[in-house]
Chain A
Amino acid sequence: EPEVTQTPSHQVTQMGQEVILRCVPISNHLYFYWYRQILGQKVEFLVSFYNNEISEKSEIFDDQFSVERPDGSNFTLKIRSTKLEDSAMYFCASSDPDEQYFGPGTRLTVT
């Protein structure tokens, strides 16, 4: 069964560093998303992406964040100059276009 994959599963970084979280969406899906979940909190929408451009972004998704589809299979989330409050699980999702399927997540720890 096709699934969304994400790497790395856990990333530890120092405050101020840049990180890139990687996702491989389900191959025939055209809509891509990033969500995050701070420990004990709700899953929150960050950004949606279609046809090589951002469709919608939340207020969380400020200039610190960017997304890219560098090739036909990968979808990345870059966080520039990480802050302590960026520590969270980051989930990638893709849809067909209705049902969103989530990856296993990348746990980002900013120290």
Chain B
Amino acid sequence: QKEVEQDPGPLSVPEGAIVSLNCTYSNSAFQYFMWYRQYSRKGPELLMYTYSSGNKEDGRFTAQVDKSSKYISLFIRDSQPSDSATYLCAMSKTQGGSEKLVFGKGTKLTVNP
């Protein structure tokens, strides 16, 4: 079983839709969870950083962590064409300080005007 699994999509939605992106993981040692956005041929851009189980909101983005199910989600409300990108989940075992990130493969999202 892969450490981090993420449905690669592609996912295509109309503008204004609510988007749900998900990752599962197998290693219970993962404690810190991130979502990155990656535009084509660009570097990953940090969107959300969470630790505890529950929800964290930032504008139109909500990150949700369920450690008991080893499942994390990113919700995008009122999606915009500019949200079209690949979304990567990432996780680590400890907080910061040279800790490596383990990434999912990414979900490619297209928001159609």
Say whether A associates with B: yes
B-binding residues in A (CB < 8 A): 4, 6, 31, 33, 35, 41-45, 48-50, 55-56, 58, 89, 91, 95-105, 107
B99 contacts the other chain (CB 8 A): yes
Q: Identify the stretch in B14-22, B42-50, B54-62, B63-71 within 8 Å (CB) of chain A at 4 or more residues.
A: B42-50
Q: Are A50 and B98 in contact, CB atoms less than 8 angstroms apart? A: yes
CA distance A45 to B46 in the complex (A): 16
Q: Are B103 and A43 in contact, CB atoms less than 8 angstroms apart? A: yes
Question: Which of A55, A58, A97, A100 interacts with B46 by CB under 8 Å?
Answer: A100
- Which residues of B from 67 to 103 have beta carbons under 8 Å from A? 88, 90, 95-103
A-binding residues in B (CB < 8 A): 32, 34, 36, 41-46, 49, 88, 90, 95-106
Note all chain A residues with C-beta closer than 8 A to B95.
97-98
Note all chain B residues with C-beta closer than 8 A to A91.
43-44
CA distance A35 to B45 in the complex (A): 14
Taking A89-B41, A102-B44 as known contacts, 20 extra A-B pairs with beta carbons closer than 8 A to each other, sorted by chain A number, are: A4-B43, A31-B97, A41-B105, A42-B106, A43-B44, A43-B90, A44-B103, A45-B102, A48-B98, A50-B97, A50-B98, A56-B98, A56-B100, A91-B43, A95-B96, A98-B49, A99-B96, A102-B45, A103-B43, A107-B41
Tell me how many residue pairs across A and B have CB atoms closer than 8 Å: 65
Instruction: Decide if the interface of chain A is mainly helix, strand, loop or mixed.
Output: strand
CA distance A58 to B99 in the complex (A): 12
Return the chain B residue nearest A46 by Cβ: B100
Q: B55 → chain A, closest Cβ, in Å?
A: 19
Note all chain B residues with C-beta closer than 8 A to A100.
34, 46, 101
Q: A65 → chain B, closest Cβ, in Å?
A: 15
CA distance A108 to B60 in the complex (A): 35
Q: What are 23 A-B contacts defined by CB distance under 8 Å?
A: A4-B43, A31-B96, A31-B97, A33-B98, A42-B103, A43-B88, A43-B90, A43-B103, A45-B101, A48-B98, A50-B97, A91-B43, A95-B96, A96-B96, A97-B95, A99-B34, A99-B49, A100-B34, A102-B43, A102-B46, A104-B42, A105-B41, A105-B42
